[in-house]
Amino acid sequence: MLLRLLFVFVAFGVLTSTAVGIVLVRRGGGLADVVLVVLVVGLILIAPAWLLARSFVRPFRELREGAERIAAGDYGHRVPGGVWRDSRDLARSFNEMSANLAGQIDRLEAERGQLRAVLGGMVEGVVAVGKGQRVLFANAAAGRMLEFDPSVATGRPFYEMVRQPAVQAIIERAFKTGQPQGEEMELHNPASRHVRVYVAPLSTEPAAILVLDDMSELRRLERLRQDFVANVSHELKTPLAVVKTCVETLLEGAAEDSKARGPFLQQIAEQTDRLHALILDLLSLARIESGDEAMHFEMVSVRDAVERCLDRHRPRAEAKRTTLESIPSSEELTVWADEEALAQILDNLVDNAVKYTQEGGQIRVRWGADGNRVCLSVEDNGPGIPARDLPRIFERFYRVDRARSRELGGTGLGLSIVKHLVQSMGGTVRATSEVGTGTTLTVNLTQRLSVL
């Protein structure tokens, strides 16, 4: 259309100039007159020709500029198209292409963002390495395990960011063989970890995906389970061996001697009591750890709970000439707790204090408010606990003095039960001690003030 208009416009100018020139020649005009007419007509046609050319060129310039802006990342850019139908059709097609391209780019960015969010939120470490083993992507978990900063790792060689020869070796093996590689290894760094490393090379390009699964907690739990089985076996074996020895001795004739059989029967009774206490503690601890222990929370008076506990343990304390004393708060305090669980906590703490405090010692139970918590502590002036043992006293079967603990009938589970019960009620427990001075065990529980 535009070309036809240009042709008509030029033809009109040529024909007009020719007609005027012929008329001038017939009337006696000279060549100069003809040239003058042609120049005048040409000058008259320059402005329309320039406007026409400009309207013709502008749409193409706008299309070129639009293409450049799209190439620069402005994917939704639109062009007007001008006044000509052909240029408007071309602009409409261009704008549709731009809109479709912008939509596809937006979808790709959304999918990329979702993928990064998923990979970033994974507990497993994920690293993508490309040509030259340059890092294409790494999530935060991989950064924690391999001790590097994922935000600055992109584009840099993996071996520059991670100083773990074993991991580097498995990546190189995967690139060399083109086959997935997996291996469990211990990473030697300040936070030693057991990690399962899996590397899968991509068949479409020289790249590979590295996945790291932190096995440290699993290995720790396996060690705890092994230690627990070994400790339980040992704790059960000792009293059973004593009972078996006493029974064999009685069967061999000591049962007929009234004077001899008494001590053996006494030992059997003591060891069966110890086995019974150990089994009860194991069952209690198993219920608490599994979450099957039903808690019935209510407002419990701290004063009443402490006094009932001291009444239960006072006969044993008096037998050792040990003083039991309660030092109450100036205000009546209640705690939001399970009454039976609170009684078990107090019983274990006071029982330990009575066991390990020498004759003539003193045990104090005091409590008071600390913000929105109640601090309840059991203090004794016993031998105390060495600093090296203090962090471990809440572990199952951990004893500072194993021989004395067994002699006193301890199962080694009392403080572990205390810790789990306190945590089940949303509280905390801590121990402070000084050798030769005594030990203080403090429990913090949620409190509610009320006047009783």
Bigger pLDDT: 51 or 282?
282
Span of 19-33, 110-124, 135-149, 427-441 with lowest mean pLDDT: 19-33
Q: What is the C-alpha to C-alpha distance for residues 438 and 449, in angstroms, rounded to an integer?
A: 31
Q: Where in the chain is the domain with CATH 3.30.565.10?
A: 297-449
Nearby residues of 420 by Cβ (< 8 Å), 6 or more positions away: 285, 288, 289
Q: Where in the chain is the domain with CATH 1.10.287.130?
A: 222-290
Cα 326 vs. chain centroid, distance in angstroms?
A: 44
> Model confidence over 366-384: pLDDT tens digits?
988 887 888 999 998 888 8
Q: At what angle do helices 414-424 and 258-290 cross, to 10 degrees?
A: 30
Q: Where in the chain is the domain with CATH 3.30.450.20?
A: 122-214
Per-residue pLDDT band for 308 (boundaries 50, 70, 90) equals very high
Q: What is the C-alpha to C-alpha distance for residues 264 and 261, in angstroms, rounded to an integer?
A: 5
Dihedral, CA of residue 103, residue 105, residue 109 and residue 110, to nearest 10 = 20
Residue 31 has pLDDT above 50, yes or no: yes
The dihedral sign for the CA sequence 120, 121, 127, 129: negative
145 conformational bin, left if phi > 0, alpha if psi -120 to 50, beta if neither: alpha
Bigger pLDDT: 404 or 259?
259
CATH class of 222-290: mainly alpha
CB atoms near residue 204 (< 10 Å):
5
- Choose among 381, 382, 383, 378: nearest CA to 431: 378
Tokens of 384: 């105390």
Which pTM does this prediction carry? 0.51
Residue carrying structure tokens 């299309």: 63
The pLDDT of residue 87 is 67
User: Which alpha helices (H) appear in 72-211, and where do they start and end?
Assistant: 85-121, 140-146, 158-161, 165-177
Q: What is the C-alpha to C-alpha distance for residues 74 and 104, in angstroms, rounded to an integer?
A: 13
> Model confidence over 121-168: pLDDT tens digits?
777 888 989 888 888 888 888 888 888 888 888 888 888 888 888 888
Q: What is the C-alpha to C-alpha distance for residues 245 and 273, in angstroms, rounded to an integer?
A: 16
The predicted model gives 397-411 an average pLDDT of 57
Are 170 and 159 in contact by the 8 Å Cβ rule? The answer is no
CATH of domain 122-214: 3.30.450.20
Q: What is the C-alpha to C-alpha distance for residues 57 and 61, in angstroms, rounded to an integer?
A: 6
Per CATH, the homologous superfamily of domain 297-449 is Histidine kinase-like ATPase, C-terminal domain (3.30.565.10)
- Choose among 410, 428, 134: nearest CA to 270: 410
- Choose among 366, 369, 300: nearest CA to 336: 300
Q: What is the C-alpha to C-alpha distance for residues 272 and 430, in angstroms, rounded to an integer?
A: 32
Residue 26 has pLDDT above 60, yes or no: no
Residue carrying structure tokens 């070129």: 64
